[in-house]
Amino acid sequence: MDTTLQDPLVGQVLDGRYRVDARIAAGGMATVYRALDTRLDRVLALKVMHPSLAADGSFVERFIREAKSVARLDHPNVVQVFDQGTDGSYVYLAMEYIAGCTLRDVLRERGALQPRAALDILEPVLAALGAAHRAGFVHRDMKPENVLIGDDGRVKVADFGLVRAVDTVTSTTGAVLGTVSYLAPEQIEHGTADPRVDVYACGVLLHEMLTGAKPHSGDTPAQVLYRHLHQDVPPPSAAVPGMAYELDELVLTATARNPELRPSDAAALLGEALRARSALDPAQLDAVPPGALAAGSDGHDNAEDRTSVIPRALTVVRPLPVNEAGEVGAGFDGGGENRTSRLESPPVPPAPGRRGGNPRSRRGLVAIVAVVLLVLGVGTGVWYINSGQFTKVPPVLSKTEAQARDQLDDAGLDVGKIEHAYSDTVAKGRVISSDPAPAERIRSHDSVSLTVSDGPETVKVPDLKGQSLADARAKLKEEGLAAGMVTRAFSEDVPKGRVVGTDPDAGTERHGGSAIALTVSRGRAVEVPDVAGSSLQDARGELEDAGLKVKVAERRVASEFDAGRVAAVSPGVGKKVAEGDTVTVTVSKGRKRVEVPDVVGSSAGDARDALEAAGFEVDEDRGFLDLFGGDTVKSQSVKGGEKAPYGSKITIKLG
């Protein structure tokens, strides 16, 4: 059944501009429609807040914050916001329309993805979030539903409805907003959010793409929250034997329960993802996951996939009751049957050709065997040549300088020259590159040079006041910044079409590539004068004296004014327009004829009220009867039901 047929907005035109054609999706806070911008003749997506929420200031504020935040992100992997406005009880965003599907649709249909496909989706998502993090925003609600995949293969991040500025993040005591399956432990426990919560969510998302299932599940949201707090995300190889070690490491690094152990932001995780891809051969990238869950087999409905307001009482997770066998009781959520589920992860079957499923355990086993061989004196010469004389540069990229020094020292290597460079993708104080590069063969006790990030190069916003829009955009590009959303406002001192100001203000430091919002002058504000009833010549003079241009409408209308007089102006009287704008004047073709009320038999007062309400002047004829106080209408000069010119005089005879 097509539910769009029951939607009252379908077929309507919002704000006199956006024609709503079909409903695309509905959520807890808003409904998304496919619409046509009749002014620019382009298809777009219209996100309309539910009218029941429009009276809630916090929801409206969050809605408008989404528009302003995304408008500052000029990035090819972020869904653009074109406009924001209201029409009656409807608050809306006009956004870029992406013909295609969501990542959730792909996972439902296909289940686990090949590593190459998973990375092809993850990398543009991280690029988009990296731009948001560099601009000072945290998404806070990353999940497959918010990853759009266009018919042309483009990947875009949508729904910045829960976005927060990085430098305004505080602990919340009332509730946590988000989707339980993708919440980071610190969001659950403390309500705090910085770029690392998006990193955690992307790690969960990658696990889901590689295995076909979420890493933590439960019969209730509380059980899922408990597992996020108390259980590590298992490596994908636990569900897909043979999964590359580098992909396990990528997931485990992104989903570390301690946020200090995660990459600092999405740009840093993108660097890790690119390095993981470069370490995989084509066979590993294109491996079909034989042990992963197939489409639709994870056994869950989509309740955990919805963005929710989670009470803080629920997010402060209490320990689950555990029996002697180490099983967690389902009764902790107060519900029905005493089902149980293991708190521990299930045993991991060893991968084909491996001695064990845990990469770290394999390394430990190799070390033990090597020590035994050394003690027994077996193969000592080989060990000396391959390990005693040479080693490999450890993975120091994205580590702090102190961590990199410790790793090099542990590997028996010296720290060489330390250089510094700006980086848009690596956080300040972390290693951008090493020479030799990680995993390269090097003699023991040789030195490794490091390049450490000074963070993104910052740029001061230039003073653009008074410049044309084209010149302002060129200047921003020249300074390494981008032009963001353009709004227009009246200005008493800046000519029309020139820049009034920027957001942020001139002189503010921003990362290179940041989008700067521009306010352009509409010119001096002029109030449309009341010229109705004036001659066309007089009206034209008064309007032009006010600094407005005059256009005369071709079609004349009947009005209360005589033929040739001004009947109306558009925009209406008292409206504010910019100096130099055009006002349309409509000329009267004569008084319109209206029906005369029948007042015979009415009192004089009632008759006068009825006739004047219909637009007529009233004259009373009392004659000699006036001496006797007659006050009832005996006749009227124009019979009731007939038509007479609006504003003309009707005589009533009393007696």
Catalytic positions, please?
141
Q: From residue 599, how far is each of 199, 250, 522 by CA, in Å?
A: 80, 89, 54
Q: From residue 16, how far is each of 4, 12, 295, 354, 417 by CA, in Å?
A: 21, 9, 44, 66, 64
Helix axes 266-279, 245-254, angle to 10 degrees: 170
Q: From residue 138, how far is each of 165, 271, 554 by CA, in Å?
A: 6, 19, 55
CA distance linking residue 346 with residue 348, whole number of Å: 6
- Residues 413 and 436: beta-carbon distance below 8 Å: no
Two structure tokens written together for 438 = 């990680």
CA distance linking residue 289 with residue 284, whole number of Å: 10
- Residues 13 and 38: beta-carbon distance below 8 Å: yes
Cis peptide before 436 (omega within 30 of 0): yes
Check residue 281 and report its DSSP letter. -
Taking phi over 0 as left and psi of -120 to 50 as alpha, with beta for the rest, 445 belongs to left
- Residues 152 and 130: beta-carbon distance below 8 Å: no
Q: What are phi and psi of 470, to 5 degrees?
A: -65, -45
Three-state SS for 214-233 is CCCCCCCHHHHHHHHHHCCC
Residues 6 or more apart whose Cβ sits within 8 Å of residue 253: 203, 261, 262, 263, 269, 272
621 forms beta bridges with 653
CA distance linking residue 64 with residue 85, whole number of Å: 9
Ordered DSSP codes for 336-364: SS--EEESSPPPPPPPTT-S-S-HHHHHH
- Residues 490 and 537: beta-carbon distance below 8 Å: no
Two structure tokens written together for 17 = 């501009």
What is the side-by-side strand order in the sheet with 431-435?
A: 414-421, 447-453, 431-435
Q: From residue 431, how far is each of 142, 253, 401, 456, 469 by CA, in Å?
A: 27, 16, 6, 13, 40
Two structure tokens written together for 587 = 């000329």
CA distance linking residue 245 with residue 542, whole number of Å: 80
Q: What distance lies between CA 416 and its chain's CA centroid?
A: 44
Among the residues of 29-102, which ranges form H helices? 57-71
